[in-house]
Structure 1
Amino acid sequence: MTETPRPPIAAAVIVKDGQVLLVRRRVKEGSLSWQFPAGEVEAGETPGQAAAREAQEETGLTVAESQVLGERVHPNTGRTMVYVACDVLSGEASVVDDEELDEFAWLKRDQLAEYVPYGFFGPVQEHLDSALSA
Structure 2
Amino acid sequence: MAGAVVVHEGRVLLVRRQVAVGRLSWQFPAGKVEPGESCEEAAVRETKEEAGLDVVAVAPLGERVHPITGRHVSYTACEVVDGTAHAADTDEVAEVAWVSLPEIPRYIPYGLFKPVQRYLDVALRS
Category of TM-score, reference length = shorter chain: over 0.9
Corresponding position: 1:113 with 2:105:
yes
Q: Which residue is equivalent to 1:6?
A: none
> Which residue type is aligned with residue 48 of structure 1?
E
Q: Larger C-alpha radius of gyration, 1 or 2?
A: 1
Total equivalences in the alignment: 126
Q: Which residue is equivalent to 2:73?
A: 81
For 1:50-108, what per-residue CA distance to the aligned partner results, in whole angstroms no more than 9, with x for missing partners?
A: 00000000111000100010000111111100000001111110111011011110011
For 1:5-40, what per-residue CA distance to the aligned partner results, in whole angstroms no more than 9, with x for missing partners?
A: xxxx10000000000000000111232000000000
> Which residue type is aligned with residue 101 of structure 1?
V
Q: Which residue is equivalent to 1:4?
A: none
> Which residue type is aligned with residue 91 of structure 1?
G
| Identity between Structure 1 and Structure 2 (%) | 53
Mapped partners of 2:76, 2:47: distance in 1:
11
- Any unmatched runs of 5+ in structure 2? none
Mapped partners of 2:51, 2:26: distance in 1:
14
Mapped partners of 1:30, 1:67: distance in 2:
29
Q: Which residue is equivalent to 1:98?
A: 90
Q: Which residue is equivalent to 2:15?
A: 23
| 1:26 partner SS | strand
Corresponding position: 1:49 with 2:41:
yes
Q: Which residue is equivalent to 2:63?
A: 71
| 1:50 partner SS | helix
Corresponding position: 1:132 with 2:106:
no
For 1:103-129, what per-residue CA distance to the aligned partner results, in whole angstroms no more than 9, with x for missing partners?
A: 110011111111111110000000000
C-alpha RMSD of the superposition: 0.7
> Which residue type is aligned with residue 84 of structure 1?
T
The TM-score normalised by the length of structure 1 is 0.92
Q: Which residue is equivalent to 1:39?
A: 31
- Any unmatched runs of 5+ in structure 1? 1-8
